[in-house]
A and B are shown apart, each in its own frame.
Chain A
Amino acid sequence: MTRIPGGLIDRSQTLTFSFNGKRYTGHPGDTLASALLANGVHLMGRSFKYHRPRGPVSAGSEDPNALVTLRSGARAEPNTRATVAELYDGLTARSQNHVGPLGFDAMAVNDLLSPVFAAGFYYKTFMWPRAFWEKLYEPMIRRAAGLGALSGEADPDSYDRGYLHCDLLVIGAGAAGLSAALTAARAGAQVVLADEDFRLGGRLLAESDPLDGGPASDWVAEVEAELRALPNVRILTRTTVFGTYDHGIFGAVERVADHLPVPGTSVRQTLWRITAKRSVLAAGATERHIPFASNDRPGIMMAGALRAYANRWATLPVAGPQDRIAVFTNNDDGHRTALDLLAKGANLLGVIDPRADAPRFGDYQLFAGAQVTGTHGRLGLSSIEITRDGRADWLECHALGVSGGWNPNVHLASHHRGRPVWNEELQAFVPGEGGPQGLIPAGACAGRGSTSAALGDGARAAQAALSELGISAALPRLPEAEDRPLRQTAFWHVPGKARAWVDFQNDVTVKDIALAHKENMRPVEHLKRWTTLGMATDQGKTANVTALAVMAELTGKAIPETGTTIFRPPYTGVSLSVLGGGDTGKDFRPTRLTPTHHWAEAQGAAFVEVGPWLRAQYFPRPGETHWRESVDREAKAVRSAVGLCDVTTLGKIDVQGRDAGEFLNRVYSNMMGTLKVGRVRYGLMLREDGHLYDDGTCARMAEDHYVVTTTTGNAGLVYRNMEFARQCLWPELDVQIISTTDAWAQIAVAGPRSRELLSRIVDGFDLSNEAFPFMACASLSVCGGLRARLFRISFSGELAYEVAVPARYGHALMQRLMAQGADLGVTPYGTEALGVLRIEKGHAAGAELNGQTTAAMIGLGMMVSGKKDSIGAVMSRREGLAEDSRRLVGLQPVDPEAKVVPGSHLFADGTAQDMAHDQGWITSACFSPHVGSSIGLGFLEDGAARMGEVILAANPLEGSCAALRVVPPHFVDPEGERLRG
């Protein structure tokens, strides 16, 4: 145990947790990593390629090494960084990517073979013999690759999404962020302050430097108290702003319940979409390491992380207080770690600083002009080699803090592809021009990282941002704080022949970069892709800049000439569950229910998804064991008695105005302006490219009032296109349109006894053939005063009507019709029988109107009027459309037992069955109770001239081929006597 005094952990409570099955204890305020270190556990994982033993190198979200699988069962969460996983009682975690125990990983043999596994090796081998790739090489590579494993079970937790709007979003709650938030909050602006950590303070919590002479955490607490008391401030802790999107929109994830054993009644995480008028990026900086020989052992970590563990988490990454700790730094900041360790009573070996003139800040041994050139220790550091003036000494050492300087966290400022720029003085990239609109970087992420500079910078950034919004903000009094200059030097790696890691997780070493250079993979993107540098879960946060510097050294160019790397969202990994916002399972999309849905449910109907709708598919009756029995019965009932079908889902558009007729003339390919009041006409709509895209009926209710119906699937599209025509093409026409699909319930009443049934519910309306013939329409009342519309139209080919009432009466109307029709054999029918009836009648539907066909192809070419302009008319005359000879035909099997299979391709008898001889395809098919066999519709080349011919329908996919006779596409009542009767 290496708990030391102090820290921001609550020692009054003890939490129990387990790692790889072993039980440990920690305290509230701990992360999994800090608690494990405090228990003397330094080995937490294995690297990706060589399976090297690894411990945490950081104390933050950038950690490439300490990845564990948190929780178990369906809640298992692979690749979780122990450095940010908040400890809770009962936490369980397991290490990843090893075969056998973590300490004796069988896959570590890869490390011995590392000369073979150099950068890009797999592009050069595994090519012979060809068949071995899928069978042997690839499975082997796949098994070896990957980190943690998913459980394979559905995520059991709930997720939500939320929307926030603010004047100022402050990203990061360290010194700069807190002072920015405070400045804006006191000015009365709407402020959102977000930080990925579970407590505010950022780097202030990790440092020992006082603010106004007291602990920094006191000042943080004061500010937090003030902010929380203000109604115009929203504080989001445990919230990562992961992406910057257009126009001030940010994506953020709040980990609402990840610090609890189970979420309970809460959601686990919330996806926030934050729309901010202005934003301050106060994301801080990430410390960079210095590659040297064997620099990847557990116990070697960033110097800043070492002092964060000491100061905030009261632990040292060693087995006991006697173990020696050293610091290897090329800059002054590393010396702060030495001072803090001394203050905490650690056994400090000293500070190794490659600068010959390295300063000394306290009472510790300084190895100036020296470098760390090697390390020992199988599963944890045991000694280091220090080389000075050509002399190398091995010294016992159990933990090493490394500091190569700090890289500003420019990520969110470069999400819009604004390139970071090189700052020679800082030897680091800082946010450049062309960053996201309205986003101001402040503090360490802008290269101004002393506490004092960050405090002032944050306040000024907020002030500047608000002044652009016309809000004047006063700068708050800020506490006295350290103001050490950030002096960083260009010492990027320790030269040598042994492997020195640049990208820890993906095992990319300085040698790999040299190989990439040798093979001309020098542009930074080639370097990354060839070596996999920066592709690990930390996305290059700890590796990319160092790698660029190494490549620059090899090419002899300056770093900015060698390249920059921009970052893309997300800043850190975001679970797919929360990105989906919880809309899973049945909630994936809204479900639209018809007005008679609950009635149909009560009848035991089977339902089917039709676009966003659920529609009754068929209504099984007791004793019916197969859906076909129900469907055949329903279809027969329509042909022999009367059936009812809810057709509300068809799109309905009201068109009103003096120019309504002229407008519809231009929207439909056929003439609508000449339609008489009280009559209905079938119409076709084309796209401007001349293809058919929708059909339906158009009813003229009054001189200046039409009702248009569309197919279910195209209801939205037709309406949008009509609005386009009205507003964009012909704004001079006096016409108004509105979708009324949801306003009216509509029920088809179809069959020879439909008139009789309807006559029982209309309020004194004359339904005789003379008074209300085929294709008539009327407004009327039914059921004793209920407002209704009646259309005498037929999709089935029978005498039929569609009656519409206000949507809320749909259910009642269905009940009334069922009750009134009991003695007439009234039968509800669903979409299956509807399909059978329309195929028997040869009406085109979705399979025929698939966007690839023309009016001529469905046999209605004459409906594209040449006498007027309408959308698509001109383009429908192009040769490719006009010369297309494919026509809709009916298809009937020569052997009545044979089946017509939609999706089969059509061939003339005796020709080869290949693409060159393909003459068409079957669009729709069903068993026809009327015909007594399977029937179908299809498009056939020169189809109109081939009636009676026997063709072959090939379905090689399912190994079938049927001889079919080409017949007219009307299997019932070709003369149309029934529907006019």
Chain B
Amino acid sequence: MHFSGLRVIKEALTGHKGWKPLWRDPEPKPAYDFVIVGGGGHGLATAFYLAKTFGQAKVAVLEKGWLGSGNIGRNTTIIRSNYLLPGNEPFYEFSMKLWETLEQETNFNSMVSQRGIINLYHSDAQRDAYRRRGNAMLLAGADAQLLGPEDLRARLPYLNFDNARFPIKGGLLQARAGTARHDGVAWGYARGADMRGVDIIQNCEVTGIRIEGGAVKGVETTRGYIGAGKVGVAVAGSSSRVMQMAGMRLPIESHVLQAFVSEGLKPLIDTVITFGAGHFYISQSDKGGLVFGGDIDGYNSYAQRGNLPVVEDVAEGGMALMPMIGRARLLRSWGGIMDMSMDGSPIIDATPVDGLYLNAGWCYGGFKATPASGYAFAHLLATGRSHETATAYRLDRFARGHLIDEKGAGAQPNLH
């Protein structure tokens, strides 16, 4: 079924009788050419591109809960390609280009909104670092602008310019960045994959990975054994748990990141803003909620919930930056489990087990990467070679010393 405004009007006039399920609930088949473990954003996008771009017909996505229940279902919806390092920037810019045509490609309105992102700077040193980054973005074909204090004041008059502990001196703007409706992204990919024959199997937890002679044969699941030519694992937050089934230890720790949304308010923040002197970033959803977050709680956790000190820390950051949000009320908070990697950058690579591939380590930046991650992982699964924008995301980079450490924080995941 093709979605369009006309279709919506026609159904409205005929009592919504014609709508069909957005996707099937198929029974698992005995075997597939490709089994994607994880029905989150990256897994669904991988299946979509495997089917659409790489012409693969026998693809299954196995999801232990409901599709889109991973971090795609709980994040702050920011998309951007404002990275510094050559290992990262071309990849995220590729992702941004995919975002720009996502809705037309999936025929589903994921509400990609290029409202821009402004990273604020508060010192000359920070400005210089942003200048280096902005130049790297331009050199990679992305867009960037350096905003001075006057320009910033004109754009964001409500920031605390006059009584700040850390004065706001300017910002790095990426105008093409913005937000997307996170669930809509999962649904668009799921529906698109399903239409192209991908079996999305919900409530199907992988409990084992069958390996014979160093090669993967299939997966054991709560719904029985499923054979597979190739297995791609995309289970951010649970990567260590799943890969342990294949006997692997990963350069990853699981941490909780909290995020927050306020009650609905009339539009007042029309871009994404990040604080450069505290842990706080914010945007406003189309429904009116202020969507904001800050730092991870900082300790290993699989509990999907955080603690009060970080809630306070985030609110302090918000109040320091834009005290006009004080009378808004926090409505909801949630905690997602992040794959925090040892250099803050992800892994899209083959593993020592033949036919077993890994997509992991997205830290808290996985949402914006969804299209490119799916595309690059599909490329790797279909061709056996890394996509040209993802060649740095190798598992052995840690041992070889080719780290992609944007923050320069070293092998301590909670600092990335």
Chain A interfacial positions (CB closer than 8 Å to B)? 48, 75-79, 115-116, 118, 121-128, 130, 133-134, 138, 141-143, 145-155, 161, 243, 245-246, 249, 251, 271, 273, 415-417, 511, 515, 518-521, 523, 525-526, 529, 532, 535-537, 539, 568-570, 573-577, 579-581, 583-589, 591, 608-609, 687-691, 693, 846-847, 850-853, 875, 878-882, 901-905, 913-915, 918, 921-924, 954-958
Q: Are A689 and B411 in contact (CB under 8 A)?
A: yes
Q: How far is the CB of A932 from chain B (nearest CB, A)?
A: 22
Q: How many whole Å from A289's CB to the nearest CB in chain B?
A: 21
Query: How close is B135's CB to chain A, nearest CB, in angstroms?
Result: 5
Query: Across the interface, which residues of B come within 8 angstroms of A149, CB to CB?
Result: 265-266, 268
Q: A147-B288, A529-B183, A588-B165 are in contact. Are A957 and B134 (CB under 8 A)?
A: yes
CA distance A954 to B131 in the complex (A): 11
Beyond A251-B311, A525-B66, A580-B312, whether A134 also contacts B113 by CB under 8 A is: yes
- Given A141-B286, A585-B165: A880 and B324 interface contact (C-beta under 8 Å): no
User: Are B319 and A584 interface neighbours, CB within 8 A?
Assistant: yes
Contact A126 B138 (CB under 8 A): no
Asked if A519 and B327 sit within 8 Å, CB to CB, the answer is: no
Neighbour of A243 across the interface among B16, B183, B303, B308, CB < 8 A: B308
B248 at interface by CB-CB < 8 Å: no
Distance in Å: Cβ of B190 to nearest Cβ of chain A: 10
Asked whether A905 and B132 contact (CB < 8 A) given A245-B307, A570-B330, A588-B165, the answer is yes
Flag if B90 contacts A127 (CB, 8 Å).
no
Q: A125-B7, A146-B264 are in contact. List 12 more A-B contacts (CB 8 A).
A: A115-B12, A123-B109, A147-B265, A148-B266, A154-B326, A417-B304, A520-B24, A523-B202, A568-B334, A581-B312, A904-B132, A924-B128
Find out whether the CB atom of B319 lies under 8 angstroms from the CB atom of A576.
yes
Asked whether B264 lies within 8 Å of A145 as measured between CB atoms, the reply is yes
CB<8 Å pairs between A and B, sample of 28: A79-B264, A123-B110, A123-B181, A125-B3, A133-B109, A143-B266, A146-B264, A147-B265, A148-B265, A149-B268, A161-B312, A245-B307, A251-B308, A273-B308, A519-B21, A520-B23, A525-B66, A568-B333, A568-B334, A585-B165, A585-B320, A589-B166, A853-B408, A903-B135, A922-B132, A954-B135, A956-B135, A958-B146
Cα distance A152–B127 when bound, in Å? 27
The answer, among A573, A587, A687, for a CB contact under 8 Å with B165, is A587
Q: Are A116 and B129 CB-contacts (below 8 A) given A249-B308, A689-B403?
A: no
Q: Provided the pairs A249-B308, A576-B328, A580-B318 are in contact, do residues A143 and B165 lie with their beta carbons within 8 angstroms?
A: no
Q: How far is the CA of A257 from the CA of B62 in the complex (A)?
A: 53
Q: Which residues of A contact B21 (CB under 8 A)?
A: 518-520
Q: List the A side residues contacting B267 at CB < 8 Å.
A: 142-143, 146
Please encode chain B, from 362 to 402, with 1 for each CB lying within 8 Å of some chain A CB and 0 for all others.
00000000000000000000000000000000000101111
Q: Are B103 and A130 in contact (CB under 8 A)?
A: yes
In the assembled complex, how far is the CB of residue A951 from the closest CB belonging to chain B, in whole angstroms?
15
Interfacial residues, chain B to chain A (CB-CB below 8 A): 3-5, 7-9, 11-13, 15-16, 19-25, 65-66, 68-69, 73, 86, 89-90, 101, 103-104, 107-115, 122-123, 125, 127-136, 138-141, 144-146, 158, 160, 163-167, 181, 183-184, 187-188, 202, 262-268, 278, 286-288, 303-305, 307-308, 311-312, 314-320, 323-334, 397, 399-403, 405, 407-411
Q: Give the interface centre of A417, A576, A689, A850 by most chain B CB atoms within 10 Å.
A: A576
Residue among A127, A923, A956 with the most chain B CB within 10 A?
A127
Query: Cβ of A519: which chain B residues have Cβ within 8 Å of it?
Result: 19-22
B323 near A155 with CB under 8 A, answer: yes
Instruction: With CB as the reference atom, state the residue of chain B lying closest to A249.
Output: B308
* Docked CA distance A124–B11 (Å): 11
Closest to A905 in B: B135
Residues of B within 8 A of A249 (CB): 307-308
Cβ contacts under 8 Å, A850 to chain B: 129, 408
- Whether A525 pairs with B264 at a CB distance below 8 angstroms is no
Closest 10 CB pairs of A and B: A851-B408, A880-B401, A903-B131, A146-B288, A573-B329, A155-B326, A878-B401, A577-B326, A579-B315, A520-B21
Distance in Å from the Cβ of B208 to the closest Cβ of chain A?
25
Task: Name the A residues within 8 Å of B409 (CB-CB).
Answer: 851
Chain A residues contacting B12 (CB-CB under 8 Å) are: 115-116, 118
Q: CB-CB < 8 A to A881: which residues of B? A: 401
Structural contact, A573 and B331, CB atoms closer than 8 A? yes
The CA-CA distance from A126 to B103 in the complex, in Å, is: 10
Q: Are A905 and B411 in contact (CB under 8 A)?
A: no
Contact B146 A957 (CB under 8 A): yes
The distance from the CB of A448 to the nearest CB of chain B, in whole angstroms, is 28
Contact B264 A687 (CB under 8 A): no
Q: How far is the CA of A142 from the CA of B268 in the complex (A)?
A: 10
* B408 neighbours in A (Cβ, 8 Å): 691, 850-853
Contact B331 A918 (CB under 8 A): no
**With A134-B113, A576-B329, A580-B326 as contacts: A568 and B319 at CB distance below 8 Å:** no
